């Protein structure tokens, strides 16, 4: 029993979604890492860091795999069985890197910041189901000042 091939508009829209999410995940990671590096090199008194961005590397890897597979299908050269198996393994590796990268990356970021004299402003953490925006400062008085400004 043969399955019907997906329609061209469905393939194009799927490709656009995968490529868009690939770009967004890379952008979020690079943007937050740039902010972190800037804060460290310029000795900023305080800054915010979004830990959700640590999912970006794994997301980029996994979504790139899907983007390539969908793009190959779109141009009329779908991946063979071996190529599909490799793409699936890369996508699964991306998911594992997302999970492990978020956990391990969070500890690494915390370690780097505390070893550079920053402390987390506990009262200014904003958490949601998919994000954790942390404020870091060089001094507890800066945390208190920032907290009073937000009230």
Percent of the chain with pLDDT over 90: 84
Phi, psi of 131, rounded to the nearest 5 degrees: -150, 160
Q: Where are the beta strands (DSSP E) in 3-139?
A: 46-50, 119-120, 126-127, 132-137
Question: Rounded CA gap, 29 and 35, in Å?
Answer: 10
pLDDT for 82 equals: 96
What is the rounded CA–CA span in Å between residue 125 and residue 148? 14
**pLDDT for the residue numbered 120:** 95
Q: In the structure, what pLDDT confidence band is assigned to residue 6 with cuts at 50, 70 and 90?
A: confident
Model confidence at 130: pLDDT above 70: yes
Measured in residues, the chain has a length of 151
* Interval 26-65: pLDDT, tens: 999 999 999 999 999 999 999 999 999 999 999 999 999 9
Q: What is the pLDDT of residue 1?
A: 62
Is residue 50 within 8 A of residue 131, CB to CB? The reply is yes
* Structural element, H or E, at residue 77: none
Average pLDDT, the chain: 92
Local confidence band at 128 (pLDDT 50, 70, 90 cut-offs): confident
Cα–Cα distance for residue pair 151/146, rounded to 1 Å: 9
Cα-flanking dihedrals φ and ψ of residue 6, to 5°? -65, 155
Backbone angles phi, psi at 94, to 5 degrees: -60, -40
């Amino acid at each position: 029993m043969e399955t019907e091939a997906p329609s061209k508009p469905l393939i194009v829209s799927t490709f656009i979604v995968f490529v868009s999410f690939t770009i967004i995940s890379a952008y979020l990671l690079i943007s937050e890492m740039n902010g972190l590096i800037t804060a460290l090199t310029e000795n900023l008194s305080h800054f915010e860091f979004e830990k959700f961005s640590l999912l970006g590397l794994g997301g980029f890897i996994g979504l790139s795999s899907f983007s390539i597979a969908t793009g190959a299908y779109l141009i009329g050269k779908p991946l063979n069985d071996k190529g599909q198996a490799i793409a699936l393994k890369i996508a699964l590796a991306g998911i594992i890197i997302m999970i492990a990268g978020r956990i391990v990356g969070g500890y690494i970021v915390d370690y780097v910041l505390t070893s550079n004299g920053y402390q987390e402003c506990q009262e200014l953490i904003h958490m949601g189901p998919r994000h954790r925006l942390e404020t870091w400062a060089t001094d507890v008085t800066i945390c208190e000042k920032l907290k009073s400004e937000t009230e």
